[in-house]
């Protein structure tokens, strides 16, 4: 890419697929005259106007808010409306639908499995005081510090980019995925919520929380900085210490112990036994 931003012609390599007429996806090239400031979404509109009106993609706000235009651009899951063409290439672009989802048509991925998993983790406020909820006598207090505990995870726009980048999702389509799991954590740590136990059951299923092996790609591609990988690891930590408190276990021997048959250096004092009470 040249240092000086100027008009140029960029070749768009677009992955096309119409399940009603095509046996498998194929690539089609379009040459687009690009001006400084043009986004990938602008380029797609130009292709539709000047080259092929049948090209399909999903979009709405054009401002990086709705999450509709998530797609794979030069190998990275991102938003077409937030990606300026000349910031990533002045020669070639490869564009495809988000992976780890079925294709509805061309660049439109079927995100319904993500939404179904999102609903499954109970992503809403759960309270035990039903009467107070229906006939409130006051407000649920929350301090600024309470808000900061979960604020970062509220920025999710459900674009599906994290799900598309997740290596676990690529091999296990039943895995809940980073988007639902991050939102489960968001509500679990909200001090106004009483649904922790119910939400734990939802995330500790066979293809749930502990299938994540912390690849971190979900956080790398998130256009809103939600950092779902962090949320998942924090939730794992929370569940682990909840388990220790519930069972009154000490830390397993292999965590602080030494391999069998290996003598400890007598110059180094033996650490005190770890207990939950030290938390």
Spatial separation of the C-alpha atoms in residues 215 and 82, rounded to whole Å: 24
The parent domain of residue 37 ranges over 8-109
Q: Which two tokens stand for residue 99?
A: 């992976």
Q: Mark whether 146 and 231 lie in a shared domain.
A: yes
Q: Which residue, 117, 100, 118, 97, is CA-closest to 109?
A: 97
Are both 74 and 122 inside the same structural domain? Answer: no
**CB under 8 Å, gap of 24 or more: what pairs does 234-243 form?**
234/185, 234/189, 235/181, 235/184, 235/185, 235/188, 235/203, 235/209, 236/209, 236/210, 236/212, 238/185, 238/188, 238/189, 239/200, 239/204, 239/209, 241/276, 241/279, 242/200
Residue 149 included in any domain: yes
- Is residue 128 domain-shared with residue 152, that is, in the same domain? yes
**Do the strands 108-109 and 103-105 form a parallel or antiparallel pair, or are they unpaired?**
antiparallel
Domain boundary at 89, 109, 129, which?
109
DSSP-derived 3-state class of residue 17 = coil
Asked if 193 and 146 touch (Cβ cutoff 8 Å), the reply is no
CA distance linking residue 151 with residue 191, whole number of Å: 12
In a domain, 1, yes or no: no
State the Cα–Cα distance between residues 173 and 163, nearest whole angstrom. 10
Residues 173, 62 share a domain? no
Q: Check whether residue 129 and residue 78 sit in a common domain.
A: no
CATH number of the domain encompassing residue 178: 1.10.1060.10
Q: How far apart are CA 50 and CA 26, in angstroms?
A: 20
165 plus 154 within the same structural domain:
yes
- Residue-wise pLDDT for 30-39, tens only, equals 999 999 999 9
In a domain, 256, yes or no: no
- Is the pLDDT confidence value at 190 over 90? yes
pLDDT in tens, 244-263: 766 655 555 444 455 566 56
Q: Are residues 94 and 147 in the same domain?
A: no
In this structure, is residue 258 part of a structural domain? no
One domain, residues 101 and 174: no
150 within some domain: yes
Give the residue with greater pLDDT, 186 vs 141. Answer: 186
Q: Are residues 69 and 90 in the same domain?
A: yes
* Residue that terminates a domain, selected from 109, 143, 160: 109
Same domain, residue pair 100 and 133: no
Shared domain for 24 and 117, answered yes or no, is no
User: Domain boundary residue among 109, 125, 144?
Assistant: 109
**Does residue 227 sit within a domain?**
yes
Tell me how far apart the alpha carbons of residues 164 and 109 are, in angstroms, rounded to a whole number: 10
Q: Rounded distance, CA 176 to CA 233, Å?
A: 14
Number of domain units in the chain: 2
Is residue 262 a part of any domain in this protein? no
pTM of this structure: 0.83
The tens digit of pLDDT for each residue in 120-159 reads: 999 999 999 989 888 989 888 899 999 999 999 999 999 9
Provide the pairing of β-strand 92-96 with 8-16. Answer: parallel
Mean pLDDT of 10-24: 96
Per residue in 218-243, is it b (16+ CB within 10 Å) or e — as a string? Answer: bbebbbbebbbbbbbbbbbeebeeee
Same domain, 41 and 17: yes
């Amino acid at each position: 890419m040249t240092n000086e931003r100027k008009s140029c012609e960029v070749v768009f390599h677009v992955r096309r697929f119409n399940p009603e007429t095509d046996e498998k996806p194929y690539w089609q090239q379009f040459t687009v005259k690009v001006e400084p400031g043009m986004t990938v979404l602008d380029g797609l509109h130009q292709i539709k106007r000047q080259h092929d009106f049948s090209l399909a993609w999903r979009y709405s706000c054009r401002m990086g808010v709705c999450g509709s235009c998530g797609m794979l651009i030069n190998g990275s899951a991102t938003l077409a409306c937030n990606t300026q063409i000349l910031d990533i290439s002045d020669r070639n672009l490869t564009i495809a639908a988000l992976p780890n989802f079925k294709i509805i048509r061309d660049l439109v991925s079927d995100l319904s499995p993500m939404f179904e998993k999102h609903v499954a983790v109970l992503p809403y406020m759960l309270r035990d005081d039903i009467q107070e909820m229906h006939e409130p006598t006051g407000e649920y207090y929350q301090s600024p510090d309470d808000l900061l505990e979960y604020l970062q995870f509220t920025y999710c726009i459900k674009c599906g980019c994290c799900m598309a980048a997740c290596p676990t999702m690529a091999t296990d389509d039943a895995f809940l995925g980073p988007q639902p799991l991050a939102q489960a954590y968001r509500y679990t740590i909200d001090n106004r919520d009483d649904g922790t136990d119910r939400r734990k059951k939802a995330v500790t299923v066979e293809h749930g929380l502990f299938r994540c092996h912390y690849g971190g790609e979900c956080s790398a591609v998130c256009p809103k900085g939600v950092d779902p990988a962090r949320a998942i690891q924090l939730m794992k930590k929370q569940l682990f210490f909840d388990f220790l408190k519930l069972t009154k276990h000490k830390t397993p021997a292999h965590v602080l112990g030494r391999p069998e048959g290996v003598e400890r250096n007598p110059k180094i004092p033996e650490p005190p036994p770890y207990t939950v009470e030290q938390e």
